[in-house]
A = this chain, B = another copy of it.
């Protein structure tokens, strides 16, 4: 049960960035999105991915690889349309 809660938590906090990517692709409106947030967040997720690789934790690696792609896409759209 505890593991299931952790896995669901990881799934939700990873998947959450997909609707933001789709919303930003549809609207191209990035004025309300903080550039600083995504610069700091993408750097943090990259470090989480490196940490996951160092401790060889597959859930950490997978979740952060996906989050890096999604949050990285939002950062790219912010830089392009901001």
How many A residues face the partner with a CB closer than 8 A? 40
Complex formed: what's the CA distance from A50 to B33 in Å? 28
- Taking a contact as CB atoms under 8 Å apart, the answer to whether A40 and B24 are in contact is no
Instruction: Pick from B5, B19, B29, B37: contact of A36, CB below 8 A.
Output: B19
- How far, in angstroms, from A18 to B27 measured CA to CA in the complex? 24
Number of copies: 2
Whole-angstrom distance between the alpha carbons of A45 and B48 in the complex?
16
A6-B48, A15-B44 given; name 4 further pairs at CB < 8 Å.
A2-B51, A6-B47, A12-B47, A19-B34
Task: Offer 26 A-B interface pairs, CB within 8 angstroms, sorted by A.
Answer: A2-B54, A5-B50, A5-B54, A8-B47, A9-B50, A10-B44, A11-B44, A12-B41, A13-B45, A16-B37, A16-B38, A16-B41, A16-B44, A17-B41, A18-B37, A19-B40, A20-B33, A20-B34, A20-B37, A23-B32, A24-B32, A24-B34, A27-B31, A29-B31, A32-B32, A33-B33
